[in-house]
Every structure is written in structure tokens, then in C-alpha cells.
């Protein structure tokens, strides 16, 4: 029986296997779970997962998924950094505008920090 292949030349189970491996799951445990091979011998499961991992299209798909995962983490990190910066700047502005009760030295320090964010004090 021929299995339907996706645009990567992989069956649905092979695609799930690639995703599991890319996310760090062990080859044997991924194979056993996806192919529901609970009754199979450990050696058979290991051999089958090893064969899959040697195939070029499987290797390529795992690599592609890993890159997508890494890009997602980077995008999330950048997004979080932007949110953190906006929060800090908002708090500094609140201190400067006296929305948050702060001693005068704190207001001056807030002005200084806000000025540094726009390179106001750089030597020209």
C-alpha cells in the first residue's frame, strides 16, 4: 500500500517523526510512539528509527524544523526585549512626569537614563 506523501516527500508519520526529533525526542521513543510499536522489540525499534534518521529527506526536514524552531525563539526573544524596553521607557516617563512619586534625585536619574536611550549625551 502506497502512503500519501507531503511536499517534502514524507508520509504523515514520517513528518511527525521529524518534528519529534527536531524538538529533542529520542529516535527510538519517537518511532515507538508514532508507529504505536509498543509490542515491538527494542532492537527492532532502534533499527527502524536509525534507518529513518539516515534518509536524506528526513535529515533535511529535521534540520529545517530545527531552524524554524530557533527562528521562533529568536523572534520571541526580540519581541520580549522590545516589550521590556517599552516598559522601562514608560516607567521612566512616568517618573519624569511625576505620575510616580519619586525624590528629585530619582527624577534627575530618570532623565539621564532616558537621554542615554536616545544617545543624547554622546560626544560629537
Please give the average per-residue pLDDT across 30-49, as a whole number: 94
Q: What is the mean pLDDT of the chain?
A: 89
Tell which phi-psi region holds residue 45, choosing left (phi > 0), alpha (psi between -120 and 50) or beta.
Answer: alpha
**CA-to-CA distance for 81 and 46, rounded, in angstroms?**
42
Would you say the pTM of this structure is higher than 0.75?
A: no
Cell readout for 58 is: 528526513
pLDDT value at 93 more than 80: yes
Q: Domain-by-domain residue ranges, the chain? A: 12-117
Question: For position 121, what pLDDT does the model report?
Answer: 75
pLDDT value at 71 more than 90: no
At residue 2 the predicted structure's pLDDT band, cuts being 50, 70 and 90, is low
Amino acid at each position: 500500500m502506497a502512503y500519501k506523501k507531503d511536499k517534502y516527500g514524507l508520509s504523515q508519520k514520517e513528518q511527525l517523526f521529524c518534528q519529534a526529533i527536531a524538538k529533542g525526542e529520542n529516535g527510538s521513543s519517537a518511532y515507538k510512539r508514532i508507529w504505536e510499536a509498543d509490542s515491538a522489540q527494542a532492537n527492532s525499534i532502534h533499527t527502524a528509527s536509525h534507518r529513518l534518521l539516515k534518509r536524506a529527506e528526513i535529515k533535511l526536514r529535521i534540520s529545517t524544523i530545527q531552524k524554524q524552531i530557533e527562528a521562533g525563539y529568536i523572534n520571541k526573544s526580540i519581541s520580549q526585549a522590545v516589550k521590556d524596553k517599552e516598559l522601562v521607557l514608560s516607567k521612566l516617563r512616568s517618573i519624569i512626569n511625576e505620575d510616580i512619586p519619586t525624590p528629585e534625585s530619582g527624577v534627575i536619574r530618570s532623565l539621564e537614563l532616558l537621554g542615554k536611550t536616545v544617545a543624547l549625551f554622546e560626544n560629537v
